[in-house]
Structure 1
């Protein structure tokens, strides 16, 4: 049994993706926890109802559409953190930086409390006409890191049996395997095997190779030569595929034409003195764009392959977590395209051949900046992680190319940059992905620009690379701000928190301690909780917490009043230094103390990477100037500092400059111009850090609400579109679906037009529908919330084997399964057999407690198993019913394994042509699309058929049979 239910993203313009896969036995898997730019909690209602029934969760891509709601669910949905989650390592790392950037950029990500959740309160009378837009507590950066640390990393092509959640039925040997999907770094096509069900989940994939990313693993099978689909992904019982990328017509010429179109528009704009804004995400497709721009600027400025037109333009990458993202990416080269790995090996080899006695600065001055750099070790792209840096960059004159997050222009630095560049007709905004609308919501800036460009393109009847002038256009956008709660809003919010706390305690029960144990990672870093279980084993952690301590620990997570905090207000509230202790008793009279647990892993104490940075890397770490030993803040009452800390300023704003900075300035005379720039502006960069914090979305301490203010933007710039989404097109689907040959095809992740067009193409290619000849498939196009029964259509039944039959069977092991061929007689279940077998036990029961009552026996008979029994054929019928079938071979021998076996036997074996294995130059072994092995031997391979040891043909044939299981009939 297999049922599929799309929770989000089916026949909808919203890019969010959430799907429920249900298997036999009540097993439910959630694939993706996506969200769209509206961040509406109403979209998560369907998921919230399914949380208590989920067995495990799978994540496919590190994008908002696939995991944007992951941190929200972990923080606000009870039991969600107890569900095992699986993803590849790049999805885990890049997803973490994506959500940290998201929650640091906009208060919309916090989401507001639904109106119906506040309607039951006694304070809700003034809000009958509208929603007060009270914000939920957003997860902090440390909390997001702790949530993603719970995800189990997997590698490609690694079969894995997931662990079920505590409230899930047994998984019964269910196996998951991740395959490369392209599109994003670590993007995944999931293969799920459960019994007879073989499910392939392929949403948002890309078959084409790019600069950074390899293509999807459809044609990646060993020995196939790239002409056949990977064997594990071939002939699935059901395939879930996306139809989103089939709408726009791709630019003819592939990747080269796409890159040429983008770069030509950039060059034309820069030569005219304008600036270019390229909105992109902060962790996925931005890698492809950043790599292309870095390589282009390097070639243009060095005089190799460029005309020097870009030398006067600077390139910027504006993202709050851009530095962390690039650090993660530089450690994941094995997940990228092979050319990236070769480039890194070349750069490493050249550096190793240089004189090791020179320092890094001497090497840099000696080579005049021409030394090869590793991928994503940018020399021409400058990272901007703070709002003050972005404002300073926008205030400088000259052409600029700005790569900013996010694609939707609804949040992030791309929104601020677009507002600044919109007034100049020389500037150009290049959209790289199609921006879909959110149903029931006003158009945002990104959607407005996309519709405007798409309309002009349709009129010009041109596929792509059209530049549209927006002079005179106006767009009204909503600007989100946070303000403190006022009036009856605060008690309304506190009552809501109390209800949620009670609900969470009720649902979690005694097991809530394990959830709080995972959250202790956050508390250890902020020193907000204490624990003395340093030497306790991991398997016993959390069990010593009783219900009272757990509830108190949960309340510390939520925001309490000053009275409820008590003496802990001195460490839980900022700028609170006095507490009245007269009349208090016990711990309320003593200053609270928090013992820090020494954190360590299997290799010892945890290492802080910022302690090992080079001098040129210490200027900016996490948006703060680390050159002088830490962030600089104003002196305040009660603020602690060390005696030798020179970073704190006096009240009048004066700041002492340490001698080390002056020495570094004098020592850096031979450094590059960019490094001198960063050193000279170190003071202004650090002074802007305080203002950055004040401008962020979380500046309001305590409970707050969302206020949307309309803002009119007058457009005079130009807009264009180049498809850098990295999604499959219609041609890829038309080519691969007939090769994959799924029995059932389910189309999701696309609007109604795209879905219907792809469905019609597949029906025409595959002859889909009932009554069609063999090879036809069933195609489903479900809507959101619709359940599809896509169970496998096979003749399989459950029977019992009699004791006589079970004794005669000789099982053969094939890939962990027992296989045997039998000939028997099917009989109805005999209820009297159970009574005869258990007669002795029933007699003992009768002697101990009297006669067995009649109703009890009838009840036992009614509850008995009525599964039919397969028994041996009686002797008088055995001669007439004797099977004439010969023993057959069962198994699947891969050509790569056969090649290794032949080589270990002393024979030469090599692949030639399209998936052909040639042995000793005389015998060719091929494997057809149906799995049949064909052996073609020449005359020289069978020179002496009687000599089986010498003939290559018979040796190969024997080795193939040895790799299969011989199943004989019974």
Structure 2
């Protein structure tokens, strides 16, 4: 059975925009990734909104915002409510990415595209899978099966294999790495052999990558030269993806006493650095075979990083004395702590800035990679400052008005009058008094008296200073002076911070505002681009395509030059169908030709007579293809964005057809059925003779079954039994 396969390129086609595609297999629609760029492009969101109600499942391939950045917005604001499939590390690390991204923008602007609740709601919908765990789709997706395969590049990174009914096999591989790294295995290329359709991320098709040993030496030389010169090194990395490879590598260098790096500080700076390292410690089984064997044998956790200090603010970094190396997020330098440190360190020539990834065009990091440093640029500086003076007084006045309005709303339903004099009304007011008292007043004239209430008996609930067992436990009283790390070495434990005193009253958010200014930044620091993205280089990417030998290929998320290189290579390898779509295009990747999709109308289905044949039911259908008579005009919010007009099947009046007998009858089975009627039947000369030779059933040369004999009561019984063996339509 052949399926109708279409790919709607919402983003990530013909350019380096984030990957987001709608893959339609018959009536079932997958959303392949849901990335967002550093600028939060809303044009892409408008296109996604048109499809959001028709999406049946979401497949996420990596944990960074490039692949799932728009997921909280889609769930929280657009109403995406279908299952989302991803591996366990993508679930864990993806949350860390989005928490860090939200906080980085919230620290400098009134960020309102999504909230932390939206992030939690989106990740609560994720169905966590293991590698090679197959899941069958239900409902409209009956017959479809998805399987996540290791992709390398990032922890939990996935190449998705989608098995469609028949021999259709689709592979979605946006970013992968075939080479083993320090903390990750490579992609399993042998699992990608001979797919019907390969959706390939082709950004590196024309990219010549430097050898890993040379890249590591360049990074090491930059770090040593800068530190010995009294400067600091800013390594721009991500939150919870490629930073794990960097942290593991640098911690190994710091452990080497001959390197001379022990005298300097190594810091990891992000809003969630502690959680990232803790999650990495618990996900060793998802990492390389080397690290897994080391953990199983010596029980040494590779991410028990001895020399890496975890920081959560720029102030912690500045308090660390002496030259230092800081791994900070984000690599695009558009927001986050990496941008803050860049503004601080770039004007000083003794410092170094290391860029590790080619981010989207238009970002500060991409500009530095293409145009280099040693120049003065204008940057928009955004920061959040506390309110002072008149602004603070105005803010506090507004807060008081809100509180007063709340009190009035709560007490609006309580009448100040009472049916009986001397009756006290008991009600709770907002504040520190809980019992009001009313002074008796005498009525004057024909008007009711205004009985006012005054609060008495001040009430204040004292918070308990003990736990359920009568004593407050202070963790610092029980802290060990030292612990033994995974490798048997003893190191001091930093003193635990003092426990926070629980405030007696709820502390409101510190009043602040966001200010924006334009600053000229003189870049005098040494700016180095050392590619540590962990993706397939151009030569290896083309080899993978030649080895996989897909019957059809779609090149995604690449510039025209890379797409041209990929197309030329595919033609040389004999791959006939090569698609290079642009953003917004719809690709019809159906394997067979002359296949069309039609709607079955209610009038047609109501006239069909079904006949049972074994486990199936069959019917004869006489219909004509016509335009849908009640097709409504497509409005602006229609979810169907394809340009094809879906036709319908209408009943064909006055069309006669000869009866068709559907089934293959065995004479031995027919003999057993005849015996149940009480008739004798024996094989003679290849025919089945009945009733003392008066009736015979024989198989003709064309495969049909013929009944011969004298017309009698037995003849009609046998003929009826013979008809029952077929589905006659």
Q: TM-score, normalised by structure 1?
A: 0.53
Counterparts of 1:167-186 in structure 2, within 5 Å, are 170-186=140-156
1:310 Cα deviation (Å)? 1.0
The answer for the alignment partner of 2:342 in structure 1 is 418
Q: Secondary structure at the match of 1:246?
A: coil
Change (3 A) 1:870 1:156: farther
The answer for the alignment partner of 1:60 in structure 2 is 61
The answer for the alignment partner of 1:785 in structure 2 is 584
1:679 Cα deviation (Å)? 2.7
The answer for the alignment partner of 2:495 in structure 1 is 679
The answer for the alignment partner of 2:253 in structure 1 is 296
Change (3 A) 1:677 1:796: closer
The answer for the alignment partner of 2:104 in structure 1 is 105
The answer for the alignment partner of 2:173 in structure 1 is 202
1:668 Cα deviation (Å)? 3.2
1:419 Cα deviation (Å)? 1.5
Cα deviation code 1:243-264 (max 9, x no counterpart): 1123432113xx3333233223
Query: Given the alignment, which residue of 107, 127, 134 partners 1:152?
Result: 127
The answer for the alignment partner of 2:185 in structure 1 is 214
Confirm whether residue 312 of structure 1 aligns to residue 134 of structure 2: no
1:675 Cα deviation (Å)? 7.4
The answer for the alignment partner of 1:73 in structure 2 is 74
Confirm whether residue 724 of structure 1 aligns to residue 532 of structure 2: yes
Q: Secondary structure at the match of 1:74?
A: helix
Change (3 A) 1:661 1:234: closer
Query: Given the alignment, which residue of 413, 436, 439 partners 1:584?
Result: 413
Alpha-carbon contact 1:181-1:205 (below 8 Å) kept:
yes
Alpha-carbon contact 2:343-2:521 (below 8 Å) kept:
yes
Q: Secondary structure at the match of 2:52?
A: helix
Counterparts of 1:5-16 in structure 2, within 5 Å, are 5-14=8-17, 16=18
The answer for the alignment partner of 2:381 in structure 1 is 479
Counterparts of 1:227-626 in structure 2, within 5 Å, are 229-230=190-191, 233-252=192-211, 255-298=212-255, 300-301=256-257, 307-348=258-299, 373-393=300-320, 396=321, 398-438=322-362, 444-453=363-372, 470-471=373-374, 473-481=375-383, 581-585=410-414
Alpha-carbon contact 1:181-1:206 (below 8 Å) kept:
yes
1:726 Cα deviation (Å)? 0.6
The answer for the alignment partner of 1:40 in structure 2 is 41
Change (3 A) 1:641 1:782: farther
Alpha-carbon contact 1:805-1:870 (below 8 Å) kept:
no
Change (3 A) 1:563 1:584: farther
Q: Secondary structure at the match of 1:244?
A: coil
1:172 Cα deviation (Å)? 2.1
1:412 Cα deviation (Å)? 1.2
Counterparts of 1:749-764 in structure 2, within 5 Å, are 749-764=557-572
Q: TM-score, normalised by structure 2?
A: 0.69
Alpha-carbon contact 1:84-1:163 (below 8 Å) kept:
no
Cα deviation code 1:558-599 (max 9, x no counterpart): xxx9999999x87xxxxxxx557554249x96569xxxxxxx
Alpha-carbon contact 1:240-1:746 (below 8 Å) kept:
yes
Alpha-carbon contact 2:16-2:203 (below 8 Å) kept:
no
CA RMSD across the alignment:
4.5
Hey, what's the Cα distance between the residues in 1 that align with 2:195 and 2:587?
A: 16
1:664 Cα deviation (Å)? 6.9
The answer for the alignment partner of 1:2 in structure 2 is 5
Change (3 A) 1:139 1:699: farther
Hey, what's the Cα distance between the residues in 2 that align with 1:645 and 1:76?
A: 43
Unpaired runs of 5+ residues, structure 2, are: 388-397, 416-425, 431-458, 502-506, 598-607, 624-648, 666-696, 705-729
Change (3 A) 1:755 1:679: same
1:669 Cα deviation (Å)? 8.2
Higher fraction of strand? 2
Unpaired runs of 5+ residues, structure 1, are: 111-133, 165-169, 219-228, 302-306, 349-372, 439-443, 454-469, 486-560, 571-577, 593-637, 647-657, 688-692, 768-775, 812-826, 832-857, 883-970
Hey, what's the Cα distance between the residues in 2 that align with 1:564 and 1:865?
A: 82
Change (3 A) 1:90 1:639: farther
Change (3 A) 1:202 1:639: farther
Hey, what's the Cα distance between the residues in 1 that align with 2:218 and 2:340?
A: 26
Alpha-carbon contact 2:136-2:142 (below 8 Å) kept:
no
Cα deviation code 1:164-183 (max 9, x no counterpart): 6xxxxx21221111101111
1:480 Cα deviation (Å)? 3.2
Alpha-carbon contact 1:61-1:186 (below 8 Å) kept:
yes
The answer for the alignment partner of 2:114 in structure 1 is 138
Alpha-carbon contact 1:156-1:178 (below 8 Å) kept:
yes
1:483 Cα deviation (Å)? 9.3
1:777 Cα deviation (Å)? 2.5
Greater Rg over alpha carbons, structure: 2
1:272 Cα deviation (Å)? 2.4
Cα deviation code 1:636-667 (max 9, x no counterpart): xx998745389xxxxxxxxxxx99688679x7
Hey, what's the Cα distance between the residues in 1 that align with 2:403 and 2:187?
A: 57
1:204 Cα deviation (Å)? 0.5
Hey, what's the Cα distance between the residues in 1 that align with 2:310 and 2:540?
A: 36
- Tell me whether 269-278 or 90-99 shows the greater mean CA deviation: 269-278
Hey, what's the Cα distance between the residues in 2 that align with 1:205 and 1:869?
A: 54
The answer for the alignment partner of 2:22 in structure 1 is 20
Q: Secondary structure at the match of 1:3?
A: strand
Change (3 A) 1:718 1:483: closer
Q: Secondary structure at the match of 1:186?
A: coil
1:18 Cα deviation (Å)? 0.4
Hey, what's the Cα distance between the residues in 2 that align with 1:147 and 1:723?
A: 32
1:274 Cα deviation (Å)? 2.1
Alpha-carbon contact 2:108-2:382 (below 8 Å) kept:
no
Change (3 A) 1:391 1:399: closer
Q: Secondary structure at the match of 2:539?
A: helix
Higher fraction of helix? 1
Hey, what's the Cα distance between the residues in 2 that align with 1:21 and 1:564?
A: 53
1:47 Cα deviation (Å)? 0.6
Query: Given the alignment, which residue of 619, 634, 644 partners 2:465?
Result: 644
Change (3 A) 1:83 1:312: same
Alpha-carbon contact 2:622-2:652 (below 8 Å) kept:
no
Hey, what's the Cα distance between the residues in 2 that align with 1:640 and 1:180?
A: 57
How many residues were matched structurally?
576
Hey, what's the Cα distance between the residues in 2 that align with 1:191 and 1:868?
A: 44
Hey, what's the Cα distance between the residues in 2 that align with 1:382 and 1:251?
A: 30
Change (3 A) 1:583 1:200: closer
Alpha-carbon contact 2:205-2:542 (below 8 Å) kept:
no
Change (3 A) 1:742 1:137: closer
Alpha-carbon contact 2:382-2:516 (below 8 Å) kept:
yes
